[in-house]
Amino acid sequence: MKTFLQALSIGCLLAASATAGSNASALIPFLPVDDGGITFTDYQNVNFRFAAKAASTNYIPFVDTGSTGMVISAADIPEWTAEEAERYPQGWEYLSSSKKLYNGNWIPKDVYFNFGDPNHELIHAQVPVLCVTSVTVCNGAKYNATINKGSCPKNPDGTLPPITYSPKRIRIMGVGFDRQGDGMPQGTPDKNPFINIVSIGGTLSKDFRAGYIITKKGITIGLTEANMDGMQYVQLPKIHSTVPRSPYDWGAIPACMSVDSAPCSMGTALLDTGLNNSYITLPSNASVSTSPNTTLLVEGSRVKVDFGVATDDFIVGVNVKRGVTPTKVSVTLSDARVPFINTGRHVYRALEVAFDAVGGRVGFRRVS
Ligand SMILES: *[C@@H]1O[C@H](CO)[C@@H](O)[C@H](O)[C@H]1NC(C)=O
Ligand SMILES: *[C@@H]1O[C@H](CO)[C@@H](O)[C@H](O)[C@H]1NC(C)=O
Ligand SMILES: *[C@@H]1O[C@H](CO)[C@@H](O)[C@H](O)[C@H]1NC(C)=O
Ligand SMILES: *[C@@H]1O[C@H](CO)[C@@H](O)[C@H](O)[C@H]1NC(C)=O
Ligand SMILES: *[C@@H]1O[C@H](CO)[C@@H](O)[C@H](O)[C@H]1NC(C)=O
């Protein structure tokens, strides 16, 4: 399996010069948070506005690679009206980690980053935004997007979980890829504000290459030869589909994962900035030790995730505060599902990660 990954990544090194000539990029800095100087401890937030005007509202969402699409409370958007919303598609997104189902309308919006920031160029994006008018926690029967769509499954007694109307303070900036199969069929690449860029500093070079890099400083929009220097690439698969898809629509990161000394299982990884804990799904014959009456790996378990060109490697319970070890690691054994790991956000303390939307690649570079 390792050789398979290596073959994939060597093939991609040949394409590494694809960013040559691209020269437009700008940073959206993460806002300071009370994390004792250790980034990727809590949510990583950025500023944005729906208009490049001093009088416009400044929003502070967290950057979420575990979802795709901006999910913002309609009640907090002064210019939102029901009349306008009705002109646009109704929509919903379900976030499995919180079991929250967000409903609203996908309203096309201008999105501005770095407004009024003398040190960073103004970045203008355009995306439909899910302006949320209700939220439901699907905490009864298991939600299935294909069947349940925009409402939670009924409880065994036939009732629905309570719906909260006009919720405030919802601020999610979903910028991930391959999330459509996980409760977000509407989370297509056209909803991702980091790859639908209209201009940087008022213009857009014809050499602009859509993509972004996540580092402890923030998000660098636009890939260039210079900012991709030292990146090692992994090719992402195309998604098999009978309907036409966006050229920026790519499958999940291939990875081979193991617990303790077992041979690794080939599957996919999600490097999720939205979580500080981790979830792993392994085949049923995997031998893992969990704490009594929980699905949590015991402290001392060794977890390795091999991306072919980079690894994420930690011992549960060791160096959670500063290292790549997630807060906790929950394991599911299943032969019905492809092996999978959501590493959580601590992995970004050791790796800078680029998403090349044009070439369908992820780049890894050790944090220096
Ligand atoms: C990018 O390169 C083009 C020509 O190659 C040039 O016109 C443009 O000013 C450059 N943009 C930046 C941001 O350097
Ligand atoms: C959801 O329901 C569909 C249609 O019945 C089924 O094919 C699919 O396996 C279900 N997904 C899960 C995760 O149970
Ligand atoms: C992990 O995240 C949860 C939910 O966001 C938060 O309540 C908790 O304080 C975080 N733990 C640490 C150690 O940061
Ligand atoms: C589980 O079984 C598969 C084949 O069915 C095998 O390739 C793999 O090595 C086994 N894994 C473990 C941890 O024993
Ligand atoms: C685990 O669950 C069993 C059965 O419910 C219970 O008897 C036992 O006390 C629990 N153990 C712990 C450590 O909570």
Report the nearest-CA residue for atom 10 of ligand 5: 293
- pLDDT digit string (tens) for 81-137? 999 999 999 999 999 989 999 999 999 999 999 999 999 999 999 999 999 999 999
In the listed set 221, 241, 271, which residue is the last one of a domain according to the structure? 221
Which of the four pLDDT bands, split at 50, 70 and 90, describes residue 140?
confident
What separation in Å is there between the alpha carbon of 285 and the centre of ligand 4?
Answer: 6
Give the ligand 1 atom nearest the CA of 25.
13
φ and ψ of 81, to 5 deg: -135, 150
DSSP secondary structure string for all residues of 22-40:
----EEEEPPP-SSTT-TT
In this structure, the answer to whether residues 45 and 65 fall within a common structural domain is yes
Could you tell me if residue 320 is inside a domain?
A: yes
Total number of domains in the chain: 2
Could you tell me if residue 29 is inside a domain?
A: no
pTM, two decimal places: 0.91
| Range list of β-strands (E), 138-215 | 163-165, 171-175, 197-200, 211-215
Are residues 150 and 90 in contact, defined by beta-carbon separation less than 8 angstroms? yes
The set of residues, in sequence order, having a beta carbon less than 8 Å from that of 245 and lying 6+ positions away, is: 188, 239
| Ligand located closest to 292 CA | 5
β-bridge mates for residue 243, sequence order: none
> How many residues does the structure list for the chain?
368
In this structure, the answer to whether residues 130 and 263 fall within a common structural domain is no
Q: Which of 218, 221, 226 is nearest to 209 (CA)?
A: 221
Question: Which H or E element spans position 83?
Answer: helix 82-86
In this structure, the answer to whether residues 273 and 169 fall within a common structural domain is no
* pLDDT value for 12: 43
Could you tell me if residue 239 is inside a domain?
A: yes
278 lines ligand 3 (CB under 6 A): no
In this structure, the answer to whether residues 344 and 366 fall within a common structural domain is yes
Mean pLDDT over residues 183-196, rounded? 94
Mean pLDDT over residues 252-258, rounded? 98
- What CATH number did the domain enclosing 194 receive? 2.40.70.10
- What CATH number did the domain enclosing 312 receive? 2.40.70
In this structure, the answer to whether residues 89 and 204 fall within a common structural domain is yes
Are residues 337 and 265 in contact, defined by beta-carbon separation less than 8 angstroms? no
Could you tell me if residue 27 is inside a domain?
A: no
Report the nearest-CA residue for atom 4 of ligand 4: 285
In this structure, the answer to whether residues 345 and 243 fall within a common structural domain is yes
Range of 318's domain? Answer: 1-20+228-368
In this structure, the answer to whether residues 189 and 248 fall within a common structural domain is no
In this structure, the answer to whether residues 85 and 214 fall within a common structural domain is yes
Burial label, 165 (beta-carbon count in 10 A; 0-12, 13-18, 19+): exposed
In this structure, the answer to whether residues 202 and 247 fall within a common structural domain is no
Token pair for residue 75?
A: 């009640």
* pLDDT value for 10: 41
- pLDDT digit string (tens) for 303-354? 999 999 999 999 999 999 999 999 999 999 999 999 999 999 999 999 999 9
Burial label, 44 (beta-carbon count in 10 A; 0-12, 13-18, 19+): buried
Which of the four pLDDT bands, split at 50, 70 and 90, describes residue 4?
very low
Radius of gyration of the chain (CA): 20
In this structure, the answer to whether residues 10 and 43 fall within a common structural domain is no
Which of the four pLDDT bands, split at 50, 70 and 90, describes residue 7?
very low
In the listed set 173, 190, 221, which residue is the last one of a domain according to the structure? 221
Give the ligand 4 atom nearest the CA of 283.
1
Token pair for residue 93?
A: 């997104």
Which of the four pLDDT bands, split at 50, 70 and 90, describes residue 18?
low
- pLDDT digit string (tens) for 26-76? 999 999 887 788 999 999 999 999 999 999 999 999 999 999 999 999 999
For the chain, percent of residues with pLDDT exceeding 70: 94
In this structure, the answer to whether residues 207 and 106 fall within a common structural domain is yes
Are residues 136 and 151 in contact, defined by beta-carbon separation less than 8 angstroms? yes
Could you tell me if residue 31 is inside a domain?
A: no
In this structure, the answer to whether residues 236 and 209 fall within a common structural domain is no
Q: Is the dihedral of CA 1, 241, 331, 67 positive or negative?
A: positive
